[in-house]
Amino acid sequence: MRGRVGRACTAGLVIGVLVTGLTACTGDAGGDENGKGRKSGKAEAKACADGTFAWSRVTKRDRLTGVSDPEWLGEGGGSLQNRMRRVYTPRPSVRADGPAPSPAEILFSFGKKTGDIDSDARTLAEMDGDTWAFTDVRLPAPDLDDGRVTPHAAGEYVRYAGVREVSADFRYTCPDGRTVSGHARNWTVDISGLTDCDERPDSALAREVARHACP
């Protein structure tokens, strides 16, 4: 998943992303009636720019995102009409227990760890404007594909969709020895499929489909 993503700085809450201790965007700092700026009584902690990441407990899990109601087709099969309903919405997520690099930088390092990003750059900033969809903290969940499917045999069928979700813990260490710990999660592979309720589920995802849809 690669694409060019514009950089923006917003002072609001990014859904699904929580990184504590990050410095805010610059803006109107306020002032008194004489136009003199006020100074904060507490200095904001900042993340070092040249630290290193260490990742642990990397896990990959297929998650069901959409499923249809079962539909019976007689001999010879036919076109399935039931639409899928969403059961889970995957979202990129980053959290840290102190001043850390931006969520995009954390996801860039994470993507290199999982193999979803192939780059020799040490940081996302070194990409000179180019980036990967994996680093986009606003990456939307994939749409549920409602394209018609036509099995050619009788059976009780269910259509489903899913993603492969990856998550891990990280530790970010600065040259002066300061460390920040956190957790990151994102999704990679967009999955779609068809199963017959009369068949024995052969995977964790197929068993989840059966629990949601099959009698």
Instruction: Please write the tens of the pLDDT for every residue from 4-32.
Output: 333 332 222 222 333 333 322 233 334 44
Band the pLDDT of 44: cuts 50, 70, 90.
low
Cα angle, residue 178 at apex, residues 59 and 114 outer, rounded to 5° = 20
Q: Is 95's pLDDT higher than 70?
A: yes
Q: Is 131's pLDDT higher than 70?
A: yes
Residue 26: predicted pLDDT: 30
Instruction: Please write the tens of the pLDDT for every residue from 46-85.
Output: 888 889 999 999 999 999 999 999 999 888 888 888 899 9
Residue 169: predicted pLDDT: 98
Q: How far apart are the first and last CA of the chain?
A: 37
Q: Is 37's pLDDT higher than 50?
A: no
Please tell me whether residue 91 adopts helix, strand or coil conformation: coil
Mean pLDDT over 82-109 rounds to: 94
Residue 92: predicted pLDDT: 95
Higher local confidence (pLDDT), 27 or 121: 121
Higher local confidence (pLDDT), 197 or 2: 197
Band the pLDDT of 39: cuts 50, 70, 90.
very low
What is the rounded CA–CA span in Å between residue 12 and residue 159?
A: 38
Residue 146: predicted pLDDT: 67
Higher local confidence (pLDDT), 32 or 126: 126
- Which pair of structure tokens corresponds to residue 56? 């642990």
Mean pLDDT over 117-128 rounds to: 87
Share of the chain above pLDDT 90, in %: 47
